[in-house]
Chain A
């Protein structure tokens, strides 16, 4: 140490004194979304209002392998931040190795989805949705069915979780339960908001050069009646199936995009028939929710079953107005699927048009979203004790926050990176380390 211990104590003492006059943040404060300009406020279930405490708890749960039956997988195993919370696989693979019939969906902006998952008109909330990967059995994903008592025992054994649950759900008894786990997870997942792509900087007028001439031309094609992309992928979220505060009507459209047409009857592979799998109605055969195209360049392979490898081939598919499969059990001319959306008619593009369209789609990639430490794995070793906002410096305000956590006058969620030992407490030793970082800078 380059400084005398007495000096450290003086600083800590000063911080404590400052804290005495500071007002600790209250969980009842209105939640600050920090939304990109032009983004509406997501709709949140009345029984699960947002709070920082729930979102931080949910972030731990999201990245925690204790949330699978055999403790090999977490939510993040199939939803990797670097891939806009997808997994790069054609189809998801669960904790027991079972292959999911569908591709892991991007979690980009799912707070705005009118319905969740690929094709289920019954799943309106992320709280409902979370139960399926946790407890679903066909296929097994996290594999927790029938293991709720074991799961709660695992979490209860962790002192940090005891504090996080208690502070996120002070009125719940017990604080850690299936209901609070899914509410915490949903709260974190609602914070996965992407709106700082080059396209956004251009739209907001903050950077006229954010879009190249090629991207601008591609954008015009995207929003044209020739290509019709925007009908299903329109609006601020590039998705028509959108709900938010103040939007009175719930639109939850599903579309058949001509991916299959088995035996010319319009059929899709029998284990993957879209909304039809829920309703049993012929008209719903092959109907899936059109997901957001934000970060689409990062989420290959494409379609509900990962059956198209690249964005270029996706454009081929839509240019043809449906996919033709020449032989095999799924052979058929998707273009002629009787249930196909009227917007999937086909179009022709010059090579330059195609390149422009691809360039535009790449302009929806939000590098900050896929790299920000605020959404990253909180179980990684703390890089800089007390650096609550991950900016590689520890300020006096952050020291105040850390002391507040130590004195339990502030919640652990306000600065859990001050708790390097992960025991749910901020000790004098940890405050000394944080103070050292404040004085000497964060470790390189």
Chain B
């Protein structure tokens, strides 16, 4: 029997048969600054044997978090994306494009254990790219024709997870509902970039990919949003917030590739439905959106997640 198991057993024996309640005569002893019972991880007013064992493990191993960096790369087929480059063989007609923007928000980032348990990645709060559980991935550097963008770029999501073995990666492609309808004019970075505002839909562009000369624009965000209380969005008919599931994925050796060629693989980008924007602004009436949103991992036109169909992201 290892030292670890011995200690766990000792702890369990010590407290076996005893429920440590907070509502005892110990007054405020044992409460933390927030008035919660120390060791009561699920805040149900009791400290259970399991909670004690977790605490003992932490005492032995240290609070067992590990840093994690998830690397992303923007690509167009087999080549990396770069402002000013042109790419051939795009879509069903093998067209040529010159991308001029390549940005997207991710949120609710999770690693997945071998048994399928999702573990949230706590994002580092860097004041620039990551805010609470949202991060902006930004692959354009403002070089022509990406003049709408920023010189700074970001290709990583950084945070920490509990020590463990993880074999998969999941995240939402977009800004979470509780941040999507805020006052963008005073929002914190990275939700303060006017190029990502989608003010007419009271939200943000979750994905922004443009091409030079207005050949194609892909702006995807929630649509059909409605107010419950005045000014408070209660929901969106078409959330357009894809759930991305990638496995196997090992953050230490793999990279998530966002591939514009894969996104456009089923589109004829030389044609455009009349009286609609070139590309896709997530309109449910624009049939040009159908193959693109499907490849982003969305049902069209419902805008609900369908991770089975997504092709935009792959692991390398």
Interface residues of A (CB under 8 A from B): 47, 120-125, 127-128, 131-132, 134-138, 144-148, 177-179, 181-183, 250, 269-271, 277-281
Tell me whether A122 and B201 are in contact (CB under 8 A). Answer: yes
**Other-chain contact of A278, B148, B185, B224, B281 (Cβ < 8 Å):** B224
Tell yes or no: B193 within 8 A of A by CB. Answer: yes
B196 to chain A, nearest CB (A): 9
Given A131-B199, A280-B237, A280-B284, answer yes or no on A178-B224 (Cβ-Cβ < 8 Å).
Answer: no
Range of interface residues on B (Cβ < 8 Å): 35 or more
**Other-chain contact of B194, A120, A124, A147 (Cβ < 8 Å):** A147
Tell me whether A131 and B225 are in contact (CB under 8 A). Answer: no
Interface residues of B (CB under 8 A from A): 147-150, 183-186, 192-195, 197, 199-202, 217, 219, 223-227, 230-231, 233, 237-238, 274-277, 281, 283-285, 301
Tell me whether B230 and A279 are in contact (CB under 8 A). Answer: no
Tell me whether A122 and B225 are in contact (CB under 8 A). Answer: yes
Chain B: CB-nearest residue to A147: B194
8 closest Cβ contacts across the A-B interface? A146-B195, A179-B186, A146-B148, A270-B275, A131-B199, A122-B202, A179-B185, A135-B194
**Other-chain contact of B285, A124, A179, A270 (Cβ < 8 Å):** A270
Residues of A with C-beta under 8 A to B193: 146, 148
A145 to chain B, nearest CB (A): 5
Tell me whether B231 and A124 are in contact (CB under 8 A). Answer: yes
Q: Which of B150, B197, B224, B231 neighbours the largest number of chain A CB atoms within 10 Å of its CB? A: B197
Q: What are 10 sample pairs from A and B whose C-beta atoms fall under 8 A apart?
A: A122-B225, A128-B183, A134-B194, A138-B217, A145-B148, A145-B194, A146-B148, A178-B194, A278-B201, A279-B226
Q: Give complex CA distance A178, B147 in Å.
A: 19
B193 to chain A, nearest CB (A): 7
Given contacts A146-B148, A183-B185, A280-B223, 19 further A-B contacts (CB under 8 A): A121-B227, A122-B225, A124-B231, A125-B231, A128-B199, A135-B199, A136-B199, A144-B194, A145-B194, A145-B195, A145-B197, A146-B194, A177-B186, A179-B186, A270-B275, A270-B285, A271-B275, A280-B224, A281-B224
A18 to chain B, nearest CB (A): 41
Q: Give complex CA distance A217, B77 in Å.
A: 72
Residues of B with C-beta under 8 A to A270: 274-276, 285
Q: Give complex CA distance A124, B147 in Å.
A: 31
**Other-chain contact of B192, A122, A124, A137, A178 (Cβ < 8 Å):** A178
A127 to chain B, nearest CB (A): 7
A13 to chain B, nearest CB (A): 45
Tell me whether B185 and A178 are in contact (CB under 8 A). Answer: yes
B266 to chain A, nearest CB (A): 23
